[in-house]
Amino acid sequence: MNNNELLCSIALTLCPGIGHIVARRLVNSVGSAAEVFRRREELPELLSGITPTVMNALNTPAAFARAERELKFIEKNHISCLTLKDEAYPSRLRECDDAPIVLFLKGNADLNRLRVINLVGTRHATDYGKQFCADFLHDLAAIYPDTLVVSGLAYGIDIHAHRAALENRLSTVAVLAHGLDRIYPSDHRKTAIDMLADGGLLTEFLSETNPDRYNFVSRNRIVAGLCDATIVVESAAKGGSLITAELAEGYHRDCFAVPGRTTDIASVGCNRLIRKNKATLVQNAEEFLQAMNWTPSSRHSKPEGIQRTLFPELTEEEEHVVRILARLGDLHINALVVETNIPVNRMSVLLFELEMKGVVKAMVGGCYRLLGGG
């Protein structure tokens, strides 16, 4: 990605009155952030709903001055800047309407791993919640050591999830509610530094951005959008993890909750999610893998010798999906999006067509299996 596109992407996030959805629409419509500014006067002709307010917002020299300062910070601190058009930008998140047009990553995380999950929960974690994180990630690492674990570096469940991931040599990423010029809370600095060796710190916020309250809600949508599944370990009746669960549902991602005793304040939110069918009950890694259809046997259930002649009426895109399933075995729709680089709305159509043709079978948890054919 050239520096001009980075500069324009950052500047676009700084234009007053232009939020995530409008910024994304502008970039997708004209091809790049640089083109948005270059063709500013043409935008009303190219797109419906472009108001004088939007036009005026794009004419903001101060935004470019601040963006230039941020570029210097990025270069000095060896931070990766990911725009919507970058291959390294998380494909799962890219499919969310309110995805940020630019992300800042410190570390070496692959945000497009085949399996990405998040563990979130209360800042007042009990021994029960801490032990769940430890046991769950220990068992998960034994089967899928390439899983990426996402959380928010906060007190409680978040930090225990990160530490359990590190202890089990799982890559882990913290999504921050502030810029990369600080660590909040500062007590977690050592863990944050340890994560840079296998994982990293991710944010949409520029340096000098404070961890203000409203930034955490914005952060939570990235946590949900990055992942195949959200696991709420513990939550009181209200809390940020419940917002993450709601966002995950809105993004059509799987959501799980760990049950607790009816008398446990830290489990009220989880029990409520389960009772209202907003989340699937999960007690251990084995149950989670079964629900997601990530069972080890599925990795070895690839049909042998799939031939093009078995499915003579497939389009080029359908054949691409078939080849991926033949090579990797059962996959979640989000994993197929990542592997094929086909947008999720288009992938849904392709999978439906393949089902109708008797080529694939829909499994529980949003996974798909390639059928043999004799």
List strand residue ranges (DSSP E) for 186-262, in order.
199-203, 229-232, 254-257
Final residue in a domain of this structure, among 256, 291, 326 = 291
* pLDDT tens per residue across span 277-287: 999 999 999 99
Does the pLDDT of residue 307 top 60, yes or no?
no
Range of the domain at 61: 3-104
- The confidence band for 137, taking pLDDT boundaries of 50, 70 and 90, is very high
For range 114-129, the mean pLDDT: 97
What burial class does residue 251 get, using C-beta atoms within 10 Å of its C-beta: 0-12 exposed, 13-18 middle, 19+ buried?
A: buried
**Residue 57 vs residue 311, higher pLDDT:** 57
Q: What is the pLDDT of residue 242?
A: 96
State which of 244, 260, 291 marks the end of a domain. Answer: 291
Q: Tell me, yes or no, whether 109 lies in a domain.
A: no
Which pTM was predicted? Answer: 0.81
Are 335 and 317 in a shared domain?
yes
Chain-wide mean pLDDT for the chain?
90
Last residue of a domain, one of 291, 314, 335: 291
Q: Please report the pLDDT score of residue 51 as a whole number.
A: 84
Q: What is the CATH number of the domain that holds 180?
A: 3.40.50.450
Answer whether residue 110 is part of any domain. no
Among residues 91, 96, 89, 140, the alpha carbon closest in space to that of 119 is found at 140
Q: Are 273 and 234 in contact (CB under 8 A)?
A: no
| pLDDT digit string, tens, across residues 25-47 | 899 888 899 999 998 888 888 88
pLDDT at 286: 94
- 308 and 276 both lie in a single domain: no
pLDDT at residue number 129:
97
